[in-house]
């Protein structure tokens, strides 16, 4: 049960009389020379973690632009809403982790804060937008702790459902060639100095960070700059001091855009094709060629797995090449293997203690994006989706406190 005196004490502290307001002016953002005139004090009810608070604050009006504003609202980050920073932080967390409706219920049940679903949505997306903007301007290393011996980097993409208005004119995989989704591109960085009982590297706890958005990975021939997503990846590399690690590796499936970005930003990183995806290609080929004989397909596939795992790559290529004349799938698979053979040197990678699976980024697509944004009945705008993605990446990467401290410092400076 809340103590009744605490909100009252807070109100008295917030609403101390300020005699210097009378006749004062403050700068207005409409122009460098504009000054807004003090017009008196007005009340506002703010919902805090202690309950409702009545906030008195000075109101200023600018004759140049004709608009009024409350400087203290801007300083306390309550200009657009009537939620205290503490409640806003709660909304940020529930908005990142669960649906807006579930977030509304959790706030009511666990904190006694009554916010309807729309207010949770509006505030969570607003904070996510702030985080997305903050992410672009803060690329300094998060700390100066010693780096692990090896840092890993991976990228992937996954589609999320969007509102119809966001998909007008976009082609897709529907029978009528229309689109139902847009692709979220995600990058992840982690370390894996730990090992399991078989001596295989295991991702280190709390080493994983994400950055993601609905962004293009393509760069126009006439554009000398990097793509949107390349810029995002570069910022994350800088934050994690990736290139300062003594050894770096990139692990992913063999989508062309992934390795184009890798070659552009990290040409010296060891490039590793995700072993599971390679085996999936071989398995699909076996089923396609021996579709009438499942046992033979399984046996053929198992032999190819053994050749891949043991490093007998010439034998693997010869086995696939023998099927090229009778199968278009075999021709494509042969080209796939031959082109990426340097990324499939798994015995050497294992001898060097490197991971050969991109399970981290596969799980990231499900955990960061799918769990929150691909639930039944959800349809997003690009703006709303990117806001929640930014919010969720911030929370799951353990960076919400860093963002909140910067946000608080900005409020104090104002």
Q: Which residue has the tokens 């690690």?
A: 245
Q: Which residue has the higher pLDDT, 340 or 84?
A: 340
Q: Which pLDDT band, with edges at 50, 70 and 90, does 181 fall under?
A: very high
Across 320-336, average pLDDT: 95
Across 231-239, average pLDDT: 96
pLDDT of amino acid 107: 96
Here the tokens at position 249 are 């590796």
Please state, for a pLDDT cut of 90, what percent of the chain lies above it. Answer: 72
Pairing between strand 150-161 and 201-202?
unpaired
pLDDT of amino acid 5: 42
pLDDT at 28 over 50: yes
pLDDT tens for each residue of 212-229: 999 998 765 445 568 999
pLDDT at 6 over 60: no
Distances from the Cα of 360 to the Cαs of 5, 150, 343, in angstroms? 49, 15, 18
The length of the chain, given as a count of residues: 414
pLDDT tens for each residue of 121-166: 999 999 999 999 999 999 988 777 899 999 999 999 999 999 999 9
pLDDT at 94 over 50: yes
The chain-wide mean pLDDT, for the chain, equals: 90
pLDDT of amino acid 56: 82
pLDDT at 2 over 50: no
pLDDT of amino acid 11: 55
pLDDT tens for each residue of 273-292: 999 999 999 999 999 999 99
Q: Which pLDDT band, with edges at 50, 70 and 90, does 82 fall under?
A: confident
pLDDT tens for each residue of 268-278: 999 999 999 99
Distances from the Cα of 409 to the Cαs of 29, 71, 387, in angstroms? 20, 16, 22
Q: Model's pTM, two decimal places?
A: 0.87
HSE on the CB side for 85, CA within 13 Å? 17
Across 174-189, average pLDDT: 92
Q: Which pLDDT band, with edges at 50, 70 and 90, does 3 fall under?
A: very low
pLDDT at 33 over 80: yes
pLDDT of amino acid 123: 94
pLDDT of amino acid 352: 95
Please state, for a pLDDT cut of 70, what percent of the chain lies above it. Answer: 92
Radius of gyration of the chain (CA): 27
Q: Which of 173, 176, 147, 145 is nearest to 159 (CA)?
A: 173
Here the tokens at position 183 are 């692709």
pLDDT of amino acid 1: 40
Edge-first strand listing for the sheet containing 68-69: 25-27, 35-48, 51-62, 68-69
Distances from the Cα of 272 to the Cαs of 42, 51, 342, 362, 386, in angstroms? 62, 54, 8, 15, 29
pLDDT at 76 over 80: no
* Interacting residues of 347 by C-beta distance below 8 A, sequence separation 6+: 309, 310, 311
Least confident among 41-55, 188-202, 366-380: 41-55
pLDDT tens for each residue of 329-352: 999 999 999 999 999 999 999 999
Q: Give domain limits for the chain.
A: 5-82, 277-344
């Amino acid at each position: 049960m809340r103590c009744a005196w605490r909100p009252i004490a807070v109100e008295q502290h917030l609403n101390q009389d300020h005699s210097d307001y009378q006749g004062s002016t403050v700068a207005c953002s409409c122009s460098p020379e504009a000054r807004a005139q003090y017009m008196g004090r007005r009340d506002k009810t703010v919902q805090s973690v202690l309950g409702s608070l009545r906030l008195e604050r000075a109101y200023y009006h600018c004759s140049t632009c004709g608009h009024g504003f409350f400087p203290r609202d801007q300083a306390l980050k309550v200009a657009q809403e009537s939620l205290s920073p503490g409640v806003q932080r709660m909304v940020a967390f529930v908005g990142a982790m669960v649906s807006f409706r579930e977030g509304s219920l959790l706030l009511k049940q666990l904190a006694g804060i009554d916010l309807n679903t729309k207010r949770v949505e509006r505030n969570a997306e607003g904070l996510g937008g702030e985080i997305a903007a903050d992410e672009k301007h803060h690329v300094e290393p998060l700390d100066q702790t010693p780096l692990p011996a090896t840092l890993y980097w991976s990228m992937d993409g996954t589609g999320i459902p969007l509102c119809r208005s966001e998909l007008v004119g976009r082609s897709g995989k529907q029978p009528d060639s229309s689109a139902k989704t847009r692709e979220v591109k995600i990058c992840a960085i982690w370390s894996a100095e730990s090992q399991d009982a078989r001596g295989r590297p295991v991702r280190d706890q709390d080493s994983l960070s994400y950055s993601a958005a609905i962004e293009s990975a393509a760069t126009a021939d006439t554009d000398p700059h990097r793509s949107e997503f390349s810029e995002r990846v570069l910022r994350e590399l800088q934050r994690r001091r990736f290139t300062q690690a003594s050894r770096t590796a990139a692990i992913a499936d063999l989508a062309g855009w992934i390795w184009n970005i890798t070659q552009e930003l990290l040409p010296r990183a060891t490039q590793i094709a995700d072993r599971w995806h390679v085996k999936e290609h071989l398995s699909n080929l076996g089923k396609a060629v021996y579709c009438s004989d499942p046992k033979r397909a399984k046996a053929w596939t198992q032999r190819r797995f053994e050749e891949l795992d043991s490093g007998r790559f010439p034998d693997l290529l010869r086995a696939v090449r023998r099927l090229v004349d009778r199968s278009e799938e075999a021709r494509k698979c042969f080209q796939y293997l031959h082109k990426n053979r340097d990324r499939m040197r798994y015995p050497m990678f294992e001898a060097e203690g490197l991971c050969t699976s991109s399970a981290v980024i596969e799980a990231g697509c499900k955990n960061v994006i799918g769990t929150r944004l691909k639930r039944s009945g959800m349809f997003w705008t690009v703006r709303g989706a990117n806001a929640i993605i930014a919010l969720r990446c911030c929370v799951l990467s353990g960076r919400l406190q860093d963002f909140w401290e910067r946000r608080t410092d900005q409020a104090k400076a104002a």
